[in-house]
């Protein structure tokens, strides 16, 4: 069974045009238009028992909008492709669209078309077109430079905390081990899927993304859908720099541990780096936290409260939920 | 279990923006950009036993390009969203992309991004952005006017014939009834799905679509993915006109009956109507056939060889395969 990374590497290798157009999570074409697509699959990203159709609809659009936000763009239009089993009722579909439409309305996105197909499991693929401001350099992961500061648009770990609470309660109720819990909720693969189920209403940081892009001539930007640690590792790798995250400065929600914040994922905040001069402008945006710095070197590290540096490692991601 | 039409009616009702932007199978936004999306689902549109990955890849892109052709547009970019089960090998994905890429190359479409998700069944959703010529009115189904002639870009029924041949052979081999055959090939729902499996390499009529759109100030245009009869009924309904299809003039492939041509589907030709003056220009395009005329009134009719008029009726679509 090939891993996601192996498949992605293969696809990038055999789609030569993607190198030119695909920046991070979105592709940029003429007229400063940005394109992105994301999919929610039943039992991978949600189950009908744990999500209402409104929540699924909101999330299916919001995860796309978060990708547009991570490019400093504004969403314009969306196409919605639904693959649905015969058992799904008209009322369920109506409620799904309630969720999609309320997210679309809030973030000024027009649903202009889509497709309908028959399937065994629910699959919702949304494609969003947005616009970045003319003349602005795209907010890429590879833009970080030594001397930059690292900023974040909000708090971390809420989603992962939700997962842990749910998992603990289920464990108490059922006396099941974690693999048993996964099986019970119908999840075939990783803890990631179960985790994804706990963050029901991601808030795409469109407004902050646009303000950040406007404030800077150069900014590295990314959304934290795959976790704070993953985000910093990617920026460090793609910019060929070293990033130091300051444990003391991580904005944590109540009851959230640092490990949850680092490896939890599904927070849909933006993380970025910019020069000290431009950080002054970014700091004026409400809710911005400075959480670290960029140095010459490579890799992403956590500077603990005791000043010890610990390398951030994606392999730890789910061990921390044990 | 709601029908496709019920679901589509509901979705159109609750997505108000689609009325403004969604024309026929594609949406038109600023800068004459056209957007469309289409999905192939395992066991609905193909099975791994009846299709090679190259064929699935070609078809997944080609059905989208056919929608762009039906708007008189040229494709520019595509995003590919794959939902794949763990059992799928890297080699299979590589071959799928061989099919996608060969279709993309032939029709000058750039694959610029996409998404990857885990699923139980294979789901390939492609979104294509194309361009219509500046200043041209879109080639809509609602454009037909009394006095127009009806034209087609190619022959009909090949796909349906393929289905009948396969079904007959399977029947001989297995002594199964048609429902038994469906079950055997793993098809849960309609004959449509089995039919879809026989047309492995649809050829989107991009070049002809562009030439037709250039030749006319006003043209009704549609692709015949759902069959010739369905196409004419839709144009008649949306243009509020009566259409007479001349049985003698239907371009049939060898061994294809009129009923197969009418109700078979999956041919991916273009059907249109234009004024007699503009038809003179369209007729110069290679492979164009004049197959009928547009009158005041409503409904689509077949003028049989004996001059009797028979109303075209979608409910007949699959009865004819018995």
Helix (H, G, I), strand (E, B) or coil at B102: helix
pLDDT in tens, A36-85: 999 999 998 888 988 999 999 999 999 999 999 999 999 999 999 999 99
Whole-angstrom distance, CA of residue B309 vs CA of residue A168: 71
Fold match flag (A4-131 vs A141-160+197-321): no
pLDDT at B255: 74
Helix (H, G, I), strand (E, B) or coil at A264: coil
pLDDT in tens, A254-296: 777 888 788 876 778 999 999 999 999 999 999 999 999 999 9
Paired with B35 in beta bridges are B27, B129
Task: Confirm whether pTM is higher than 0.90.
Answer: no
Give percent above pLDDT 90 in chain A: 56
Confidence check: pLDDT of B8 > 90: no
Chain A residues closer than 8 Å to B14 by CB: 94, 97-98, 101
Chain B residues closer than 8 Å to A8 by CB: 116
Q: What is the phi-psi region of residue A107: left when phi exceeds 0, alpha when psi lies from -120 to 50, beta otherwise?
A: alpha
pLDDT at A260: 77
Q: Which residues contact B54 (CB under 8 A, 6 or more apart)?
A: B95, B96, B98, B99, B102
- Chains A, B: CB contacts under 8 A, how many? 216
Grade residue B185 by pLDDT with cuts at 50, 70 and 90: very low
Query: Which range (A10-14, A53-57, B149-153, B162-166) has the least confidence?
Result: B162-166
In angstroms, the separation between the Cα of residue A225 and the nearest Cα of chain B is: 14
pLDDT in tens, A137-160: 778 899 999 999 999 998 876 665
**Using only C-alpha atoms, what is the Rg of chain A?**
20
pLDDT at A157: 66
Of A83, A97, A127, the CB nearest to B79: A127
Query: Which range (A226-230, B180-184, B213-217, B271-275) has the least confidence?
Result: B180-184
CB A77 within 8 A of CB B28: no
The CATH class of B141-160+197-321 is alpha beta
Chain B residues closer than 8 Å to A81 by CB: 37-39, 81, 125, 127
* Any B CB within 8 A of A39 CB: yes
Mean pLDDT of all residues belonging to chain A: 84
pLDDT at A253: 76
* Any A CB within 8 A of B135 CB: no
Contact A83 B37 (CB under 8 A): no
Confidence check: pLDDT of A186 > 60: no
pLDDT in tens, A105-126: 999 999 999 999 999 999 999 9
* Any A CB within 8 A of B84 CB: yes
Question: DSSP readout, A234-301?
Answer: HHHHHHT-EEEEEGGG--B-TT--HHHHHH------EEEEE-HHHHHHHTTSTT-EEEEEEESSSEEE
Please tell us whether the domain made up of B4-131 is placed in CATH 3.50.50.60.
no
Grade residue B194 by pLDDT with cuts at 50, 70 and 90: very low
* Any B CB within 8 A of A15 CB: yes
Q: How many Å separate Cα A213 from the centre of its chain? A: 18
Confidence check: pLDDT of A196 > 90: no
Grade residue B155 by pLDDT with cuts at 50, 70 and 90: confident
Give the best residue of A15, A26, A71, A105 to mutate against chain B (max B CB count within 10 A). A15
Whole-angstrom distance, CA of residue A89 vs CA of residue B259: 34
pLDDT at B146: 98
Q: Which residues contact B117 (CB under 8 A, 6 or more apart)?
A: A39, A40, A41, A44, A45, A123, B81, B82, B83, B84
Rounded to whole angstroms, the maximal C-alpha distance in chain B is: 58
In B34-177, which ranges are continuous DSSP H helix? 53-69, 90-106, 158-174
Domain chopping of chain A, boundaries: 4-131, 141-160+197-321
Strand ranges, E, within B66-148: 74-84, 110-118, 123-131
Average pLDDT (A118-137) is: 91
């Amino acid at each position: 069974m090939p891993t996601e990374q192996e498949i992605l590497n293969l696809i990038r290798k055999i789609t030569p045009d993607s190198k030119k157009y695909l920046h991070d999570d979105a592709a940029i074409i003429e007229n400063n238009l940005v394109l992105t697509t994301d999919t929610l699959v039943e039992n991978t990203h949600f189950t009908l028992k744990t999500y209402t159709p409104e929540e699924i609809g909101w999330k299916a659009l919001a995860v796309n909008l978060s990708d547009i936000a991570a490019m400093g763009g504004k969403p314009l239009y969306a196409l919605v492709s639904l693959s649905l089993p015969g058992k799904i009722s008209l009322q369920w579909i109506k409620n799904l669209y309630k969720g999609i439409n309320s997210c679309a309305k809030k973030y000024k996105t027009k649903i202009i078309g889509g497709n309908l197909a028959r399937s065994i499991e629910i699959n919702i693929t949304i494609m969003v077109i947005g616009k970045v401001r003319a003349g602005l350099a795209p907010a890429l992961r590879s833009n970080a430079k030594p001397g930059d500061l690292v900023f974040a648009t909000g708090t971390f770990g809420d989603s992962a905390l939700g997962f842990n609470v749910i998992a603990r309660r289920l464990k108490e109720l059922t006396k099941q081990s974690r693999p048993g819990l996964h099986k019970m909720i119908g999840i075939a693969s990783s803890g990631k899927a179960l985790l994804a189920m706990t963050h029901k209403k991601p808030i795409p940081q469109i407004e902050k993304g646009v303000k950040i892009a406007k404030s800077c001539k150069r900014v590295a930007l990314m959304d934290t859908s795959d976790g704070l640690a993953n985000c910093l590792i990617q920026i460090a790798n793609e910019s060929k720099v070293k990033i130091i995250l300051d444990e003391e400065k991580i904005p944590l929600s109540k009851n959230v541990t640092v490990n949850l914040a680092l490896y939890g994922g599904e927070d849909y905040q933006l993380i970025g780096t910019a020069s000290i001069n431009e950080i002054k402008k970014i700091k004026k945006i409400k809710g911005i936290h400075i959480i670290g710095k960029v140095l010459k070197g490579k890799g992403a590290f956590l500077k603990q409260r005791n000043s010890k540096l610990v390398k951030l490692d994606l392999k730890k991601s789910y061990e921390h939920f044990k």
